């Protein structure tokens, strides 16, 4: 859910208006977004929301430090190898920043 907001620039205004969390997240720097996502993960009791927030956290981390962000997502894959969203997040990072 949140990773969609971070990757689709042309949908940001519309989506942010409909989702207050996305609105706060999109208005932050990457470092502030990481802090906000970590707080949301801690406060959420919904496992599905936590999973989406964690993959979003990995994607934001990859914007500051590509290797560190990818490593975070790879660790999540070890914990949840059947969840396809994690593999899509890695593919999206490579699409945005290349394979180097």
Question: Cα-flanking dihedrals φ and ψ of residue 28, to 5°?
Answer: -105, 160
| Count of beta carbons in the 10 Å neighbourhood of residue 4 | 13
CB 8 within 8 A of CB 60: no
- Cβ atoms of residues 55 and 4 within 8 Å: no
d(CA 93, CA 23): 22
Residue in this structure with the two tokens 């290797």, named with its chain if needed = 67
pTM for the predicted model, two decimal places: 0.70
Residue 94 in tokens = 């490579």
Tokens of 83: 């969840």
pLDDT digit of tens for each residue in the chain (100 aa)? Answer: 455 445 544 444 444 445 556 656 565 687 888 888 999 999 999 998 999 899 999 988 988 889 999 999 999 999 999 989 899 999 988 898 776 5
Residues spanned by the domain of 83: 2-97
Indicate the number of domains in the chain.
1
């Amino acid at each position: 859910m949140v990773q969609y907001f971070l990757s689709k620039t042309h949908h940001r205004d519309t989506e942010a208006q409909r989702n207050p969390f996305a609105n706060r997240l999109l208005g932050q720097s990457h470092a502030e977004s990481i802090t906000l996502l970590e707080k949301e993960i801690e406060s959420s009791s919904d496992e599905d929301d936590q999973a989406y927030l964690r993959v979003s956290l990995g994607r934001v981390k990859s914007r500051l430090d590509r290797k560190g962000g990818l490593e975070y997502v790879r660790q999540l894959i070890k914990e949840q190898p059947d969840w396809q969203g994690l593999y899509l997040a890695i593919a999206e990072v490579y699409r945005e920043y290349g394979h180097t």
